[in-house]
């Protein structure tokens, strides 16, 4: 059977064709029907983009498949809700397509169920013909230097979670009373964080940023954000859109080190197109900065060829007072160039360090193979190694890289493997499985009450209502207890 067309890359491409694709997909929409319980039953763990795209493909590819999505939180959509920056509302439009999938007659959502804790993967495997793990990358890589645990040092994951309303990051309360913040890492997440720190509050107040974050940012005294990377301008990991947003920040100007750009005008000529455009923009920014010198009160800067060595503390209050950076030189060139320490170090005074060096998946169940070095579930096209009937998709499958469109492609690949295995007999779907019926019984015995998709819609509606007065798309509920209270009303 031909699967849905996998689009190359770029969310715009995907969204432009979306309405057609959705209308083909929803040949059966119209409330949950009592569809046959004899068809293949697939369980998906995690309701981020990977979970929803896997479900979307499966439902479209086989008219008899039933899909149940289990989600740890009472609210769906993973990093689309808790990661994507509040000033990127257009990216969050994917939620409309996910909602259509969740409302399909052959799809059910069970929020508030933590797989690995409330129910084991083995129990899910007994109840379903196939289990797809799509639970993302919820932890972060550590910097691995002395002083990392000082007050004033945060993982980007927690800082992003704080301004986006992740329940576990609610208490973060970063101290924004310092002038200089250092961000370690030069990818898109680092630029999201820098932009949020430097954006005027009247821009942020019309977004779905949480109220406590908005208030704290309104009182922030951070004026200078240094974005530090091990390697040089030709190796930055951000994309041009995010860099342009930095350049266009009102009231902020870039400040680069001219020496970092020596020889780049020549080198740029032979680069592949996306890298070339990005480097050209960086060169332009570095060239123009003098003209903007007196215009802005806030400064942002890329600090290249630097690796963290130690977070320095203020002995009086045991808080972050600075960061010691090793100075690097590059060995090799292009994307594969390696940073090698020169032996020199540089100390920068700062009161806030945000480490944006990567998210990281964790094992959730000891029975599931896990590659601890790469922090992924080892797989071949989504088929988990040596675990028939078990699959993975999204960041858990590939590691924490790529945009939502990348996750779409890799989730479609996994779903295609599931469908192929059903067709080839590698996955035995001949005997009926109990699916959610048996899992619901188990959960009930354990005192776990799942949140359905219509329960989530109550939360959604309350959040949107609370956002009306301040003119925000929504005011997010910030604790699991509050979410459950609204869901149960």
14 touching ligand FAD, by CB under 6 A: no
Q: Which of residues 393-432 bind ligand FAD (CB under 6 A)?
A: 394-395, 402-404, 407
Least gap, CB of 395 to ligand FAD (angstroms):
4
Q: Which is nearer to ligand FAD, 116 or 232 (CB)?
A: 116
Q: Which is nearer to ligand FAD, 185 or 232 (CB)?
A: 185
Q: Which is nearer to ligand FAD, 162 or 305 (CB)?
A: 162
Q: Which is nearer to ligand FAD, 190 or 325 (CB)?
A: 190
Least gap, CB of 372 to ligand FAD (angstroms):
17
CA atoms of 204 and 433, how far apart (whole Å): 49
CA atoms of 23 and 100, how far apart (whole Å): 10
116 touching ligand FAD, by CB under 6 A: yes
Q: Would you give the binding string for ligand FAD spanning residues 164-193, x where CB under 6 A is met? A: -------------------------x--x-
Q: Which is nearer to ligand FAD, 136 or 382 (CB)?
A: 136
Q: Which is nearer to ligand FAD, 116 or 152 (CB)?
A: 116
Q: What is the 3 state secondary structure string of the chain?
A: CCCCCCCCCCHHHHHHCHHHHHHHHCCCCCCCCCCCCCCCEEEEECCCHHHHHHHHHHHHHCCCCEEEEECCCCCCCCHHHHCCCCCCCCHHHHHHHHHHHHCCCCEEEEECCCECCCECHHHHHHHCCEEEECCCCCEECCCCCCCCCCECEEEHHHHHHHHHCCHHHCCCCCCCCCCEEEEECCEHHHHHHHHHHHCCHHHHCCCCCCHHHHHHHHCCCCCEEEEECCCCHHHCECCHHHHHHHHCCCCEEECCCHHHHCCHHHHHHHCCHHHHHHHHHHHHHHHHHHHHCCCCCEEEEEECCEEEEEEEEECCCCEEEEEEEEEEEEECCHHHCEEEEEEEEEEEECCEEEECCCEECCCCCCCCCCECCCCECCEECCEECCCCCEEECCHHHHCCCCCHHHHHHHHHHHHHHHHHHHHHCCCCCCCCCCCHHHHHHHHHHCCCCCECHHHHHHHHHHHHHHHHCCCCCCCCCCCHHHHHHHHHC
Least gap, CB of 155 to ligand FAD (angstroms):
11
Least gap, CB of 473 to ligand FAD (angstroms):
15
Q: Which is nearer to ligand FAD, 239 or 301 (CB)?
A: 239
Tell me if 205 sits within 8 A of 159, measured CB to CB.
no
Closest CA to 397 of 118, 135, 105: 135
Q: Would you give the binding string for ligand FAD spanning residues 62-101, x where CB under 6 A is met? A: --------xxxx----xx---xx---x--x----------
Residue 404 token pair: 């939502």
Residue 466 token pair: 């609370």
Q: Which is nearer to ligand FAD, 11 or 238 (CB)?
A: 11
Least gap, CB of 441 to ligand FAD (angstroms):
19
Residue with tokens 């007050």: 151
Least gap, CB of 298 to ligand FAD (angstroms):
21
Span interacting with ligand FAD, options 29-37, 134-142, 171-179, 198-206, rule CB under 6 A: 134-142
Tell me, by CB under 6 A, how many residues bind ligand FAD. Answer: 36
Q: Which is nearer to ligand FAD, 11 or 59 (CB)?
A: 11
Residue 149 token pair: 């645990």
- Ramachandran region of residue 48, left (φ > 0), alpha (ψ -120 to 50) or beta? beta
Q: Which of residues 330-349 bind ligand FAD (CB under 6 A)?
A: none
CA atoms of 40 and 129, how far apart (whole Å): 6
Least gap, CB of 274 to ligand FAD (angstroms):
15
Q: How far does the chain reach from its first CA to its final CA, in angstroms?
A: 44
Neighbours of 5 (CB within 10 A): 8
Q: Which is nearer to ligand FAD, 160 or 422 (CB)?
A: 160
Span interacting with ligand FAD, options 129-137, 195-203, 220-228, 419-427, rule CB under 6 A: 129-137
CA atoms of 475 and 215, how far apart (whole Å): 13
Least gap, CB of 203 to ligand FAD (angstroms):
16
Least gap, CB of 263 to ligand FAD (angstroms):
32
Least gap, CB of 452 to ligand FAD (angstroms):
15
| Nearest residue to ligand FAD, scored by beta-carbon proximity | 48
Q: Which is nearer to ligand FAD, 253 or 474 (CB)?
A: 474
Q: Would you give the binding string for ligand FAD spanning residues 188-227, x where CB under 6 A is met? A: -x--x-----------------------------------
Q: Which is nearer to ligand FAD, 79 or 184 (CB)?
A: 79
351 touching ligand FAD, by CB under 6 A: no
Q: Which is nearer to ligand FAD, 217 or 256 (CB)?
A: 217
Q: Would you give the binding string for ligand FAD spanning residues 24-53, x where CB under 6 A is met? A: ---------------------xxxxxxx--
Q: List interacting residues with ligand FAD (CB under 6 A).
A: 11, 45-51, 70-73, 78-79, 83-84, 88, 91, 114-116, 134-136, 138, 160, 189, 192, 359, 364, 394-395, 402-404, 407
């Amino acid at each position: 059977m031909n699967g849905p067309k996998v689009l190359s890359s770029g969310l715009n491409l995907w969204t432009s064709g979306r309405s057609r694709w959705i209308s083909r997909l929803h040949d059966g929409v119209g409330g949950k029907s009592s569809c046959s319980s004899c068809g293949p039953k697939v369980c998906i763990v995690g309701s981020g983009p990977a979970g929803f795209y896997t479900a979307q493909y499966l439902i479209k590819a086989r008219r008899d498949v039933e899909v149940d999505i289990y989600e740890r939180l009472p609210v769906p959509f993973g990093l689309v809700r808790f990661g994507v920056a509040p000033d990127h509302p257009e990216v969050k439009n994917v939620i409309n397509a996910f909602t259509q999938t969740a409302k399909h007659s052959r799809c059910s959502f069970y929020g508030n169920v933590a797989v690995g804790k409330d129910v084991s993967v083995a129990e899910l495997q007994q109840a379903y013909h196939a289990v797809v793990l799509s639970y993302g990358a919820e932890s972060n890589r550590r910097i691995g230097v002395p002083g990392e645990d000082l007050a004033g040092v945060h993982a980007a994951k927690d800082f992003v979670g704080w301004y986006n309303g992740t329940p576990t990051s609610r208490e973060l309360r970063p101290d924004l009373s310092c002038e200089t913040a250092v961000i370690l890492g030069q990818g898109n997440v680092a630029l999201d964080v820098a932009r949020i720190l430097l954006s005027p509050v009247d821009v942020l107040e019309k977004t779905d940023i949480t109220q406590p974050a908005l208030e704290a940012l309104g009182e922030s005294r951070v004026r200078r954000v240094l974005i530090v990377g091990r390697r040089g301008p030709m190796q930055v990991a951000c994309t041009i859109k995010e860099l342009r947003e930095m350049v266009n920040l009102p009231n902020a100007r870039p400040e680069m080190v001219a020496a970092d750009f020596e020889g780049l005008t020549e080198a740029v000529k032979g680069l592949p197109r996306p890298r070339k455009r990005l480097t050209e923009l960086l060169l332009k920014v570095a060239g123009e900065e003098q003209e903007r010198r007196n215009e802005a009160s806030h400064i942002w800067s890329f600090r290249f060829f630097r690796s963290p060595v130690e977070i320095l503390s203020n002995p009086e209050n045991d808080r972050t007072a600075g960061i010691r950076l090793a100075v690097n030189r590059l060995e090799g060139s292009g994307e594969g160039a390696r940073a090698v320490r020169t032996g020199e170090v540089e100390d920068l005074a700062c009161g806030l360090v945000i480490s944006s060096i990567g998210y990281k998946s964790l094992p959730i169940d000891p029975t599931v193979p896990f590659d601890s070095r790469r922090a992924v579930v080892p797989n071949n096209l989504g088929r988990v190694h040596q675990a028939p009937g078990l699959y993975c998709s999204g960041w858990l499958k590939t590691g924490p890289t790529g945009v939502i469109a990348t996750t779409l492609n890799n989730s479609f690949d996994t779903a295609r493997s599931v469908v192929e295995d059903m067709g080839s007999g590698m996955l035995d779907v001949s005997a009926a499985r109990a699916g959610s019926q048996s899992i619901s019984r188990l959960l009930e015995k354990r005192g776990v009450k799942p949140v359905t998709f219509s329960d989530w819609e109550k939360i959604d509606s309350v959040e949107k209502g609370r956002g009306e007065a301040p003119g925000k798309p929504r005011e997010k509920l910030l604790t699991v207890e509050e979410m459950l209270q609204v869901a149960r009303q």
